[in-house]
Chains A and B, each alone.
Chain A
Amino acid sequence: MSTNLLSAIKKVGVIDDYEDGRDTLAYMVEDASLEPVFQNDSVTDLESYLESINEKFDAVVTDHHLRKVKSYFPIDGAEFAAHCYHRRIPSLLVTRYEQPEILEIRKFREKLPVVLTPDEYNVDSLIEGLEKCMNEFAGNISVGRKAWRTLVRIDDIKDNKNVYLVIPGWNSQQAIALNMNNLPDHLQKVVKPDMRLFAKVNIGNENANELFIKDWEI
């Protein structure tokens, strides 16, 4: 273990609905000289599970899709990782990053500092990721993760499902896709192409996949 920051982390929960998936997530945890704790049983009562999560793990590594094999988890990994982050448990999401996942994950991105693809997931990135979370808990938030109030234009809406936004303060030439259900309920009802709104966005981040949008003003 490389830093003092991580001295509090010993047990790392590994969450994946596939047994093989849990094993492989655990390999890196072991390689980083940490103790993997396997979540083998299905979780049905999320509330009570989250209540006691501090006693189970010091950190969490999870896959995004958690509902393919029986009903392993009631929510997807991104949402679960965000819950953990909220409870100040460092959490990493390991998933293949394709378009549908990007849209699903964006909703939780504010509380999801680290998302890795399987080929990015190694001992170094695992340690770095945990450190990044700990740093954020300590109030050291990097420029790319800070949200600023900025103008957001609704560019297009497709099938009432996907919303495309242009954030001129970030890049006026690129549209960012969002799931309609990422918008607050009252906004979903009124949103229209060419509408201009204010929201907070981490515009210091160059990677479109890492953007999150919150505190919409209407």
Chain B
Amino acid sequence: MIKVEDVELTFNQGTPIENHVLRGLNLNIEDGEFVTIIGSNGAGKSSLLNVISGDLIADSGYILINDRDVTHFPAWKRAGMVARVFQDPMVGTCENLTIEENLALAYNRGKSFNFRAALNRKRRLLFKDKLTMLNLGLENRLSDMMGLLSGGQRQAVSLLMSTLQPSKILLLDEHTAALDPKTAQFVLELTNKIVSKNQLTTMMVTHSMKQALDYGTRTVMLHQGKVVFDVSGEERKKLTVTDLLNQFEKVRKEPITDDVLLLD
């Protein structure tokens, strides 16, 4: 489904602030896998997601989606294949567009934005129906501005938007990090529901070791722009947060003393 081969990425190449974030990263994700990605700050987690979505273009190496080489496609060209939810609730939705307009944009994801009406009765009914599933009462606020919603509500709508067009890949970049614990839990449960219902191939970046093991079918640890630990199946089921932490200390070659990772 997703193949990442020897991908290199350097920010600010040739300047004093040069930062080699991805160093020959290899990753092969099968259809239907739900991969959780962990790693310390600067390990390359978000960059990995960004080179897959096209927000960043890899310096070298290949990105294949469905056996198609998309390494040099800009983000808009991959939008039909990849749906994403961002860490910042403000990024995933347009605040001065109404809820229904945001949904209309997502409903058109990867298709031509032509001169046909963006909204009609049929679409409104569909959006209402979909919003009802969130249980947030948003189905009665279709024409409210997105900016009136809380961060959690916006993330929930972002998730819903990612399912409006049948793309097989969902990229989640710490999409609960900006939310309070209770709302984060709600959004995570919703994520699980949506992923299993739509049988999406998912990559979820998280800072929480517990989340990484509780959700998904496979866990990948990144360190200095490379995959250093990759676990799935039976072996993963037996894994505890402590095991993961030990593994983490081993690759870092130093004990974890700060709060780079959340243990809960």
* A and B form one complex: no
